Each structure stands twice: as C-alpha cells, then as structure tokens.
Amino acid sequence: MISEIIKNRRAVFPAQYNNQPISKEEVLAILESANWAPTHKRTEPWRFKVFHGLSQIGLGKFLAETYKNTSEKFSENTYNKFIENPVKAKCVIVICFQRDPKESLPEWEEIASTAMAVQNMWLAASEMKIGGYWSSPGIIKYMDKFVQMEEGERCLGFFYLGKYDGELPEGTRKTSIEEKTVWM
C-alpha cells in the first residue's frame, strides 16, 4: 500500500549505513522515479549529479575544504563529517534545479517540483530497503565551484543513499494532520 510506504519512509543517516554496495541499476531505478514528478508547464526542472564510486572521495574533500574556508565557527568534528559522510554513503546524488528561461515560472514552483522529485526518489529507495536522506548544509551554494552548472541551475542539497541492517525506528510527527487542517 502506498500509504504504508509513505509512513515507513525514514531519513536514514550515514552513521546507520552498512558497507553493502548500491548497484548502478538500483541508482538508475531511484532516479527514474524522480523523473515522474509533476511540473507546471512540463518544465521538468530537476537536475542531478551522481557521485557513485571513487568520485565520492573527491566530493567529501571539496565539502570539507569549502567548509573550512568559509565557516565562521570552525569545528573539527563537522570538517571530518564532511569528509567521511560522502564515503560512508554508497551513492550521493547532488540535487539541483534549473529554471526554464522561456517559461518564466516563479522559482518556488520549480523548487516545489524538484522537492516532489526527491520525495519520489526517497519513496522508491525506501521500498528497495535503501536508506536515504536529504542533506542541505549552507555550503551547497558553492557547488558550482566543483561541478558544472548550466545557466539558471542551482544546488538544493545532497541525497545520501546507503543500505542498512535491521529495522528503522517508527516515525513521529509533532502534531496530527487535524491540527494542521482547517475544513471550510
């Protein structure tokens, strides 16, 4: 049932990943789900850069050095996490979106569509027993120094992927849907 898959999806973090590899076919299946997100005017704004294999090491080094060079309050622990997490993951998908200059949709609509694409990936991964989470550190604004971005393209974060052992904890929500809904 889709409602069960939705409720059972969890943010699964690098500390929880085991060392099992994720195949290219599995990554492709997850990406394919992204491509079926809805979009206003069919702009399909999501763009992805996939770090799968040795390239993950370079990504970690870039993130750590960028953090070191730009942070106002440096922490050795955070620096080490930026190096380690992209390698603990068995794939890191850089989440980007590109505005369509012809359609001139508001930016929020393109970001909303891209977030829906990420949710599709997250649900697909969850059903495949692959853990994932969306990481959005402040340094994503420097990603154009590391990967080529097209005109109007911007990074929204990283989707870390890794397999895990055992069961995931049950999710929690602070308030019920009734408390967030007004029936008119």
**Where does this chain bind ligand FMN (CB under 6 A)?**
10-11, 133-137, 157, 171
Which is closer to ligand FMN, CB of 24 or CB of 141? 141
Q: Which is nearer to ligand FMN, 108 or 183 (CB)?
A: 108
SS (H, E, C) the chain: CHHHHHHHCCECCHHHECCCCCCHHHHHHHHHHHCCCCCHHHCCCEEEEEECCCHHHHHHHHHHHHHHHHCCCCCHHHHHHHHHHHHHCCEEEEEEEECCCCCCCCHHHHHHHHHHHHHHHHHHHHHCCEEEEEECCHHHHHHHHCCCCCCCEEEEEEEEEEEECCCCCCCCCCCCCHHHCCCC
Least Å from the CB of residue 25 to ligand FMN: 25
* In the complex, least distance from residue 135 CB atom to ligand FMN, rounded to whole angstroms: 5
Q: Which is nearer to ligand FMN, 6 or 24 (CB)?
A: 6
Least distance in angstroms from the C-beta of 183 to ligand FMN: 25
CB of 127 to ligand FMN, least distance (A): 15
